[in-house]
Amino acid sequence: MPDQKNKKLLTSDGVNEDWFSYATEHSEKIPQILLELEKETHQKVLQPRMISGRLQGRFLSFMSHLIQPNTVVEIGTYTGYATLSLAEGIPEGGTIHTIDSNEELVTIQERFFKKSENAKKIQRHLGKALDVLPKIDGPYDLVFIDADKENYNAYFEAVIPKMRKNGLIISDNVMWSGKVLSQANPMDAATQALKEYNKKIRSDTRVQTILLPFRDGLSFCRVIKGLDE
């Protein structure tokens, strides 16, 4: 039976903040550049909660180190926290292509990317992802989708033909603060799109899928048959 006294620790998003704090404290130390970026994001950007959290950033870094990807594609840069985290595991000569259409965030992105010891691995693209993706050659080893929710399915379909076998597609915010559990009719477009996307990738025979209720939900799709076959 769950510990009843821990119920009061749950936020409106259903996240036990004390558990996350404990997990973060007992995980790899956060790099100083990410602490600085987190602080600046909260000081200067209107929706700072969109930044990848500390524990999620360490998780993305961990996955990148495991995979050792040569080509990473990130759809949705925001201020670059996930970009820098993923870049940590890319070997020399590898590249993370990060795509965002928000010009107002370019200054922060560029300043922190240049400060990073992995600066040479990062290639920033300004524009709509569906316009940029055809210009980025595959095979892709790792893709991180964290942009407008209505286009998740379109992004998935755009990248999967360029994935290598056993490549990984990670999609963020797929629990959408629990809104995907709603039965409301009608529901907002982002929630509806995510519900359809989650259902689609679960049944897609091109991938093996697991959805983890981590932070705001992360889905992992392992590509079964890739471009390199």
CATH of the domain at 53: 3.40.50.150
Taking 50 as the threshold, does the pLDDT of residue 145 lie above it? yes
Look up residue 201 and give its DSSP letter: H
* Residue 195 falls inside a structural domain: no
pLDDT of residue 15: 60
In this predicted structure, the answer to whether residue 153 has a pLDDT above a threshold of 60 is yes
Domain that holds residue 158: 12-169
User: Do the domain assignments include residue 229?
Assistant: no
Domain assignment of residue 202, yes or no: no
pLDDT tens profile 72-126: 999 999 999 999 999 999 999 999 999 999 999 999 999 999 999 999 999 999 9
134, two tokens: 């055809």
pLDDT at position 141 is 98
Residue 63 lies in a domain: yes
Residue 98 lies in a domain: yes
**Any domain includes 177:** no
Q: What are phi and psi of 12, to 5 degrees?
A: -65, -20
For the stretch 26-59, pLDDT in tens is: 999 999 999 999 999 999 998 888 898 899 999 9
Q: Which two tokens stand for residue 34?
A: 């990410």
**Residues with Cβ < 8 Å from 103, sequence gap 6 or more?**
126
pLDDT of residue 1: 41
**Residue 38: inside a domain:** yes
Tell me if the bond preceding 186 is cis, omega within 30° of 0.
yes
Q: What is the pLDDT of residue 27?
A: 95
Higher pLDDT among residues 187 and 8, named by residue: 187
pLDDT tens digit sequence for 208-229: 999 999 889 999 999 998 877 7
CA distance 68 to 141: 9
**DSSP codes of every residue in 54-116:** HHHHHHHHHHHHHH--SEEEEE--TTSHHHHHHHTTPPTT-EEEEEE--GGGHHHHHHHHHHS
Share of the chain above pLDDT 70, in %: 93
- 207/168 Cα distance (integer angstroms): 9
pLDDT at 4 over 60: no
As to burial, measured by CB atoms within 10 angstroms (0-12 exposed, 13-18 middle, 19+ buried), residue 104 is exposed
User: Do the domain assignments include residue 22?
Assistant: yes
Q: Residue with structure tokens 């922060």?
A: 108
How high is the mean pLDDT of the chain?
A: 92
pLDDT at 2 over 50: no
Total domains in the fold of the chain? 1
